[in-house]
Structure 1
Amino acid sequence: MTRATERTAGVVRSVRQEQLGLLTPCEKFDVEDLINHLEWVAELFESLARKGPRVEQGPYTGDFPERAERALAAWSRPEAWEGTSPAMGMPMTTLAHMYLVDMVVHGWDLARATGQEYAPDPEAVERALGFTENMVEMGRRRGAFGPPVAVPDDAAPLDRLLGVIGRDPAWTP
Protein backbone atom coordinates (compact mmCIF):
# COMPACT_ATOMS: atom_id res chain seq x y z
CA MET A 1 0.00 0.00 0.00
CA THR A 2 2.73 2.41 0.94
CA ARG A 3 4.77 2.14 -2.23
CA ALA A 4 1.69 2.28 -4.47
CA THR A 5 0.33 5.30 -2.60
CA GLU A 6 3.66 7.13 -2.66
CA ARG A 7 4.02 6.60 -6.41
CA THR A 8 0.50 7.81 -7.09
CA ALA A 9 0.99 10.81 -4.79
CA GLY A 10 4.12 11.67 -6.77
CA VAL A 11 2.12 11.65 -9.99
CA VAL A 12 -0.57 13.83 -8.40
CA ARG A 13 2.03 16.32 -7.15
CA SER A 14 3.35 16.71 -10.71
CA VAL A 15 -0.03 17.50 -12.28
CA ARG A 16 -0.10 21.09 -13.46
CA GLN A 17 -3.14 23.34 -13.08
CA GLU A 18 -3.64 23.52 -16.86
CA GLN A 19 -3.87 19.71 -17.00
CA LEU A 20 -6.90 19.39 -14.70
CA GLY A 21 -9.37 19.34 -17.61
CA LEU A 22 -7.58 16.63 -19.61
CA LEU A 23 -9.28 13.34 -20.40
CA THR A 24 -8.09 10.19 -18.61
CA PRO A 25 -8.31 6.49 -19.44
CA CYS A 26 -10.92 6.30 -16.68
CA GLU A 27 -13.86 7.37 -18.84
CA LYS A 28 -15.89 8.78 -15.96
CA PHE A 29 -13.23 11.29 -14.96
CA ASP A 30 -11.09 14.10 -16.28
CA VAL A 31 -7.83 14.72 -14.38
CA GLU A 32 -9.41 16.94 -11.73
CA ASP A 33 -12.29 14.53 -11.17
CA LEU A 34 -9.87 11.62 -10.89
CA ILE A 35 -7.74 13.41 -8.30
CA ASN A 36 -10.94 14.26 -6.44
CA HIS A 37 -11.87 10.58 -6.57
CA LEU A 38 -8.45 9.71 -5.13
CA GLU A 39 -8.99 12.26 -2.35
CA TRP A 40 -12.24 10.51 -1.49
CA VAL A 41 -10.63 7.05 -1.70
CA ALA A 42 -7.93 8.13 0.77
CA GLU A 43 -10.47 9.65 3.15
CA LEU A 44 -12.82 6.68 2.86
CA PHE A 45 -10.16 4.06 3.44
CA GLU A 46 -8.72 6.03 6.37
CA SER A 47 -12.17 5.91 7.97
CA LEU A 48 -12.63 2.23 7.14
CA ALA A 49 -9.21 1.35 8.60
CA ARG A 50 -10.41 2.87 11.87
CA LYS A 51 -13.66 0.83 11.61
CA GLY A 52 -15.46 4.11 10.95
CA PRO A 53 -18.33 4.98 8.62
CA ARG A 54 -18.44 5.15 4.86
CA VAL A 55 -17.79 8.79 3.97
CA GLU A 56 -19.21 10.67 1.01
CA GLN A 57 -17.08 12.32 -1.62
CA GLY A 58 -16.64 16.04 -1.17
CA PRO A 59 -15.46 18.70 -3.61
CA TYR A 60 -11.96 18.75 -5.06
CA THR A 61 -9.46 20.27 -2.65
CA GLY A 62 -6.06 19.34 -4.10
CA ASP A 63 -4.85 17.65 -0.91
CA PHE A 64 -4.60 14.02 -2.00
CA PRO A 65 -1.00 13.51 -0.80
CA GLU A 66 -1.91 14.64 2.72
CA ARG A 67 -5.05 12.51 2.81
CA ALA A 68 -3.08 9.55 1.52
CA GLU A 69 -0.55 9.94 4.36
CA ARG A 70 -3.41 9.82 6.87
CA ALA A 71 -4.84 6.71 5.19
CA LEU A 72 -1.47 4.96 5.35
CA ALA A 73 -1.11 5.92 9.01
CA ALA A 74 -4.51 4.38 9.74
CA TRP A 75 -3.59 1.16 7.92
CA SER A 76 -0.22 0.98 9.68
CA ARG A 77 -2.01 -0.05 12.88
CA PRO A 78 -2.23 -3.88 13.17
CA GLU A 79 -5.88 -3.74 14.27
CA ALA A 80 -6.81 -2.10 10.96
CA TRP A 81 -6.28 -5.46 9.26
CA GLU A 82 -8.43 -7.46 11.67
CA GLY A 83 -12.02 -8.53 11.25
CA THR A 84 -14.72 -7.10 9.05
CA SER A 85 -15.56 -3.49 8.24
CA PRO A 86 -18.78 -2.45 10.01
CA ALA A 87 -19.45 0.08 7.23
CA MET A 88 -18.78 -2.19 4.25
CA GLY A 89 -19.43 -5.70 5.58
CA MET A 90 -16.23 -6.99 3.98
CA PRO A 91 -13.03 -8.37 5.46
CA MET A 92 -10.49 -5.65 6.16
CA THR A 93 -7.93 -7.42 3.98
CA THR A 94 -10.35 -7.22 1.05
CA LEU A 95 -10.73 -3.48 1.59
CA ALA A 96 -6.96 -3.04 1.72
CA HIS A 97 -6.67 -4.77 -1.64
CA MET A 98 -9.42 -2.58 -3.09
CA TYR A 99 -7.43 0.47 -1.99
CA LEU A 100 -4.28 -0.99 -3.55
CA VAL A 101 -6.01 -1.52 -6.90
CA ASP A 102 -7.22 2.09 -6.88
CA MET A 103 -3.73 3.41 -6.14
CA VAL A 104 -2.00 1.34 -8.84
CA VAL A 105 -4.58 1.84 -11.58
CA HIS A 106 -5.43 5.48 -10.95
CA GLY A 107 -1.74 6.31 -10.70
CA TRP A 108 -1.40 4.89 -14.21
CA ASP A 109 -4.53 6.76 -15.35
CA LEU A 110 -3.15 10.10 -14.19
CA ALA A 111 0.33 9.48 -15.50
CA ARG A 112 -0.97 8.47 -18.90
CA ALA A 113 -3.34 11.46 -19.08
CA THR A 114 -0.65 13.97 -18.11
CA GLY A 115 2.31 12.50 -19.99
CA GLN A 116 4.24 11.38 -16.91
CA GLU A 117 6.39 8.32 -16.44
CA TYR A 118 4.84 5.71 -14.17
CA ALA A 119 6.62 2.67 -12.84
CA PRO A 120 4.45 1.07 -10.16
CA ASP A 121 5.99 -1.28 -7.65
CA PRO A 122 6.05 -4.77 -9.23
CA GLU A 123 4.85 -6.46 -6.02
CA ALA A 124 1.93 -4.04 -5.76
CA VAL A 125 0.96 -4.77 -9.36
CA GLU A 126 1.11 -8.54 -8.82
CA ARG A 127 -1.01 -8.29 -5.65
CA ALA A 128 -3.51 -6.01 -7.37
CA LEU A 129 -3.70 -8.32 -10.39
CA GLY A 130 -4.24 -11.46 -8.30
CA PHE A 131 -6.93 -9.78 -6.22
CA THR A 132 -8.66 -8.27 -9.24
CA GLU A 133 -8.75 -11.54 -11.16
CA ASN A 134 -10.65 -13.05 -8.22
CA MET A 135 -13.00 -10.10 -7.70
CA VAL A 136 -13.53 -8.81 -11.23
CA GLU A 137 -17.10 -10.04 -11.68
CA MET A 138 -18.23 -8.41 -8.45
CA GLY A 139 -16.39 -5.25 -9.53
CA ARG A 140 -18.20 -5.23 -12.85
CA ARG A 141 -21.59 -5.77 -11.19
CA ARG A 142 -20.88 -2.79 -8.93
CA GLY A 143 -19.77 -0.62 -11.85
CA ALA A 144 -16.15 -0.33 -10.69
CA PHE A 145 -14.73 -2.16 -13.72
CA GLY A 146 -15.59 -2.03 -17.39
CA PRO A 147 -15.68 -4.82 -19.94
CA PRO A 148 -12.32 -6.56 -20.29
CA VAL A 149 -9.82 -5.35 -22.86
CA ALA A 150 -7.90 -8.15 -24.56
CA VAL A 151 -4.17 -8.14 -23.95
CA PRO A 152 -1.66 -10.83 -24.90
CA ASP A 153 -1.22 -13.65 -22.39
CA ASP A 154 2.44 -12.72 -22.08
CA ALA A 155 1.73 -9.02 -21.49
CA ALA A 156 3.35 -7.28 -18.55
CA PRO A 157 1.42 -7.67 -15.27
CA LEU A 158 0.36 -4.00 -15.30
CA ASP A 159 -1.07 -4.37 -18.80
CA ARG A 160 -2.92 -7.52 -17.73
CA LEU A 161 -4.33 -5.70 -14.69
CA LEU A 162 -5.47 -2.81 -16.86
CA GLY A 163 -7.08 -5.17 -19.37
CA VAL A 164 -8.91 -7.14 -16.68
CA ILE A 165 -10.57 -4.02 -15.31
CA GLY A 166 -11.42 -2.59 -18.70
CA ARG A 167 -8.54 -0.22 -19.48
CA ASP A 168 -6.70 -0.24 -22.77
CA PRO A 169 -2.97 -0.31 -21.91
CA ALA A 170 -2.29 1.47 -25.22
CA TRP A 171 -4.59 4.40 -24.36
CA THR A 172 -3.29 7.82 -25.32
CA PRO A 173 -4.90 11.22 -24.88
Structure 2
Amino acid sequence: MEDMMPLMTRATERTVELVRTVRQDQLGLPTPCAKFDVKDLVSHLEWVAEMFESLAGKGPRLEQGPYAGDFPERAERTLAAWSRPEAWEGTSPDMGLPMGVLAHMYLVDMVVHGWDLARATGQKYEPAPEAVSRALHFTDQMVEMGRQRGAFGPPVAVPDDAPAFDRLLGVIGRDPAWKA
Protein backbone atom coordinates (compact mmCIF):
# COMPACT_ATOMS: atom_id res chain seq x y z
CA MET A 1 0.00 0.00 0.00
CA GLU A 2 2.69 2.49 0.97
CA ASP A 3 4.31 2.49 -2.44
CA MET A 4 1.12 2.16 -4.54
CA MET A 5 -1.09 4.85 -2.98
CA PRO A 6 1.14 7.76 -4.06
CA LEU A 7 1.25 6.35 -7.61
CA MET A 8 -2.51 5.80 -7.71
CA THR A 9 -3.16 9.23 -6.22
CA ARG A 10 -0.95 11.14 -8.65
CA ALA A 11 -2.24 9.22 -11.69
CA THR A 12 -5.81 9.85 -10.59
CA GLU A 13 -5.20 13.54 -9.89
CA ARG A 14 -3.61 14.00 -13.30
CA THR A 15 -6.53 12.27 -15.03
CA VAL A 16 -9.00 14.36 -13.02
CA GLU A 17 -7.18 17.52 -14.22
CA LEU A 18 -7.55 16.35 -17.81
CA VAL A 19 -11.25 15.53 -17.41
CA ARG A 20 -11.94 18.94 -15.85
CA THR A 21 -10.55 20.72 -18.91
CA VAL A 22 -12.63 18.80 -21.47
CA ARG A 23 -15.00 21.16 -23.24
CA GLN A 24 -18.52 20.24 -24.35
CA ASP A 25 -17.50 20.57 -28.00
CA GLN A 26 -14.81 17.91 -27.46
CA LEU A 27 -17.10 15.14 -26.18
CA GLY A 28 -17.60 13.66 -29.65
CA LEU A 29 -13.90 13.54 -30.59
CA PRO A 30 -12.26 10.17 -31.29
CA THR A 31 -9.73 8.74 -28.83
CA PRO A 32 -6.85 6.26 -29.21
CA CYS A 33 -9.15 3.72 -27.55
CA ALA A 34 -11.11 2.84 -30.70
CA LYS A 35 -14.35 1.92 -28.91
CA PHE A 36 -14.64 5.28 -27.14
CA ASP A 37 -15.15 8.88 -28.14
CA VAL A 38 -14.24 11.44 -25.45
CA LYS A 39 -17.65 11.28 -23.74
CA ASP A 40 -17.58 7.48 -23.71
CA LEU A 41 -14.04 7.54 -22.32
CA VAL A 42 -15.01 9.87 -19.48
CA SER A 43 -18.04 7.67 -18.80
CA HIS A 44 -15.71 4.67 -18.70
CA LEU A 45 -13.46 6.50 -16.22
CA GLU A 46 -16.52 7.20 -14.05
CA TRP A 47 -17.30 3.49 -14.04
CA VAL A 48 -13.68 2.54 -13.31
CA ALA A 49 -13.66 4.87 -10.30
CA GLU A 50 -17.01 3.62 -9.00
CA MET A 51 -16.10 -0.03 -9.55
CA PHE A 52 -12.70 0.20 -7.85
CA GLU A 53 -14.27 2.05 -4.93
CA SER A 54 -16.65 -0.89 -4.53
CA LEU A 55 -13.87 -3.44 -4.90
CA ALA A 56 -11.75 -1.67 -2.28
CA GLY A 57 -14.57 -2.34 0.19
CA LYS A 58 -14.72 -6.00 -0.91
CA GLY A 59 -17.93 -5.20 -2.78
CA PRO A 60 -19.12 -6.36 -6.18
CA ARG A 61 -17.84 -5.53 -9.63
CA LEU A 62 -20.36 -2.98 -10.86
CA GLU A 63 -21.88 -2.53 -14.31
CA GLN A 64 -21.19 0.67 -16.17
CA GLY A 65 -23.94 3.24 -16.05
CA PRO A 66 -24.57 6.21 -18.32
CA TYR A 67 -22.31 9.27 -18.48
CA ALA A 68 -22.86 11.42 -15.40
CA GLY A 69 -20.13 14.07 -15.59
CA ASP A 70 -18.93 13.40 -12.04
CA PHE A 71 -15.60 11.63 -12.50
CA PRO A 72 -13.67 13.96 -10.13
CA GLU A 73 -16.03 13.19 -7.24
CA ARG A 74 -16.00 9.45 -7.94
CA ALA A 75 -12.21 9.44 -8.19
CA GLU A 76 -11.94 11.18 -4.81
CA ARG A 77 -14.13 8.50 -3.21
CA THR A 78 -12.05 5.77 -4.86
CA LEU A 79 -8.82 7.11 -3.42
CA ALA A 80 -10.44 7.44 0.00
CA ALA A 81 -11.58 3.80 -0.17
CA TRP A 82 -8.09 2.58 -1.11
CA SER A 83 -6.45 4.69 1.60
CA ARG A 84 -7.91 2.36 4.24
CA PRO A 85 -5.42 -0.40 5.19
CA GLU A 86 -8.12 -3.08 5.07
CA ALA A 87 -8.67 -2.37 1.37
CA TRP A 88 -5.31 -4.01 0.69
CA GLU A 89 -5.96 -7.18 2.65
CA GLY A 90 -6.78 -10.50 1.06
CA THR A 91 -8.59 -11.19 -2.17
CA SER A 92 -11.57 -9.56 -3.84
CA PRO A 93 -14.57 -11.83 -3.22
CA ASP A 94 -16.12 -10.84 -6.55
CA MET A 95 -13.04 -10.75 -8.79
CA GLY A 96 -11.06 -13.56 -7.16
CA LEU A 97 -7.85 -11.55 -7.39
CA PRO A 98 -5.51 -10.23 -4.70
CA MET A 99 -6.26 -6.64 -3.76
CA GLY A 100 -2.77 -5.55 -4.86
CA VAL A 101 -3.52 -6.86 -8.36
CA LEU A 102 -6.70 -4.78 -8.45
CA ALA A 103 -4.76 -1.70 -7.38
CA HIS A 104 -2.37 -2.23 -10.28
CA MET A 105 -5.31 -2.63 -12.67
CA TYR A 106 -6.65 0.71 -11.47
CA LEU A 107 -3.24 2.33 -11.92
CA VAL A 108 -3.02 1.07 -15.52
CA ASP A 109 -6.49 2.45 -16.24
CA MET A 110 -5.64 5.88 -14.85
CA VAL A 111 -2.27 6.12 -16.62
CA VAL A 112 -3.40 4.84 -20.02
CA HIS A 113 -6.83 6.45 -20.15
CA GLY A 114 -5.25 9.72 -19.03
CA TRP A 115 -3.07 9.50 -22.14
CA ASP A 116 -6.09 8.57 -24.28
CA LEU A 117 -7.94 11.66 -23.08
CA ALA A 118 -4.95 13.96 -23.43
CA ARG A 119 -4.27 12.78 -26.99
CA ALA A 120 -7.91 13.14 -28.00
CA THR A 121 -8.23 16.67 -26.61
CA GLY A 122 -4.77 18.03 -27.47
CA GLN A 123 -3.52 18.29 -23.88
CA LYS A 124 -0.02 17.62 -22.60
CA TYR A 125 0.44 14.44 -20.61
CA GLU A 126 3.42 12.97 -18.84
CA PRO A 127 2.68 10.23 -16.34
CA ALA A 128 5.06 9.75 -13.43
CA PRO A 129 7.99 7.51 -14.48
CA GLU A 130 7.48 5.22 -11.46
CA ALA A 131 3.79 4.79 -12.33
CA VAL A 132 4.74 3.88 -15.89
CA SER A 133 7.38 1.42 -14.67
CA ARG A 134 4.92 -0.29 -12.31
CA ALA A 135 2.16 -0.34 -14.92
CA LEU A 136 4.49 -1.79 -17.57
CA HIS A 137 5.82 -4.50 -15.25
CA PHE A 138 2.30 -5.44 -14.18
CA THR A 139 0.94 -5.38 -17.73
CA ASP A 140 3.76 -7.55 -19.04
CA GLN A 141 2.71 -10.17 -16.48
CA MET A 142 -1.05 -9.85 -17.05
CA VAL A 143 -1.27 -9.13 -20.78
CA GLU A 144 -2.67 -12.50 -21.84
CA MET A 145 -5.39 -12.43 -19.20
CA GLY A 146 -6.10 -8.82 -20.17
CA ARG A 147 -6.54 -9.76 -23.81
CA GLN A 148 -8.74 -12.74 -22.94
CA ARG A 149 -11.00 -10.45 -20.89
CA GLY A 150 -11.11 -7.78 -23.60
CA ALA A 151 -9.23 -5.17 -21.57
CA PHE A 152 -6.28 -5.03 -24.00
CA GLY A 153 -6.19 -5.03 -27.77
CA PRO A 154 -3.73 -6.74 -30.07
CA PRO A 155 -0.18 -5.54 -29.46
CA VAL A 156 1.22 -2.64 -31.46
CA ALA A 157 4.84 -3.08 -32.51
CA VAL A 158 7.09 -0.68 -30.61
CA PRO A 159 10.91 -0.79 -30.71
CA ASP A 160 12.55 -2.55 -27.76
CA ASP A 161 14.49 0.63 -26.99
CA ALA A 162 11.39 2.86 -27.05
CA PRO A 163 10.53 4.81 -23.88
CA ALA A 164 8.77 2.72 -21.22
CA PHE A 165 5.47 4.52 -21.73
CA ASP A 166 5.48 3.80 -25.47
CA ARG A 167 6.16 0.13 -24.68
CA LEU A 168 3.28 0.09 -22.20
CA LEU A 169 0.95 1.57 -24.81
CA GLY A 170 2.10 -0.95 -27.41
CA VAL A 171 1.68 -3.93 -25.10
CA ILE A 172 -1.95 -3.09 -24.42
CA GLY A 173 -2.75 -2.29 -28.04
CA ARG A 174 -2.32 1.46 -28.34
CA ASP A 175 -0.26 3.17 -31.03
CA PRO A 176 2.01 5.68 -29.26
CA ALA A 177 2.00 7.79 -32.45
CA TRP A 178 -1.82 8.12 -32.50
CA LYS A 179 -3.12 11.55 -33.42
CA ALA A 180 -6.69 12.81 -33.69
Taking structure 2 as the reference length, what is the TM-score of the superposition?
A: 0.95
- The reply to whether residue 112 of structure 1 matches residue 130 of structure 2 is no
1:28 deviates by 0.7
1:167 aligns to what SS in structure 2? coil
Deviations 1:69-105 (A, max 9, x none): 0000000011101100011111100000000000000
Give me the whole-angstrom Cα distance separating, in 1, the residues matched to 2:66 and 2:58. 24
Deviations 1:81-138 (A, max 9, x none): 1100011111100000000000000000000000000011111111000000000001
1:87 aligns to what SS in structure 2? coil
- The reply to whether residue 76 of structure 1 matches residue 83 of structure 2 is yes
Q: 1:35 aligns with which of 28, 36, 42?
A: 42
1:144 counterpart letter in structure 2 = A
Identity %: 82
Q: 1:126 aligns with which of 115, 133, 139?
A: 133
CA RMSD in angstroms, aligned pairs only: 0.6
- The reply to whether residue 9 of structure 1 matches residue 16 of structure 2 is yes
- The reply to whether residue 18 of structure 1 matches residue 25 of structure 2 is yes
Runs of 4+ off more than 3 Å: none
Give me the whole-angstrom Cα distance separating, in 2, the residues matched to 1:71 and 1:104. 15
Give me the whole-angstrom Cα distance separating, in 1, the residues matched to 2:17 and 2:136. 22
Using the TM superposition, name which of 39-48 and 151-160 deviates more.
Answer: 151-160
Give me the whole-angstrom Cα distance separating, in 1, the residues matched to 2:142 and 2:32. 21
Instruction: Give structure 2 stretches of 5+ with no counterpart.
Output: 1-7
Taking structure 1 as the reference length, what is the TM-score of the superposition?
A: 0.99
1:54 deviates by 1.5
Corresponding residue number in structure 1 for 2:5:
none
- Residues 32-111 of structure 1 correspond to what in structure 2 (within 5 A)? 32-111=39-118
1:117 aligns to what SS in structure 2? coil
The count of aligned residue pairs is 173
Corresponding residue number in structure 2 for 1:140:
147
Give me the whole-angstrom Cα distance separating, in 1, the residues matched to 2:163 and 2:9. 22
Give me the whole-angstrom Cα distance separating, in 2, the residues matched to 1:60 and 1:134. 32
Deviations 1:39-94 (A, max 9, x none): 00000000000111111111101110110000000000111011000111111000
- Residues 144-159 of structure 1 correspond to what in structure 2 (within 5 A)? 144-159=151-166
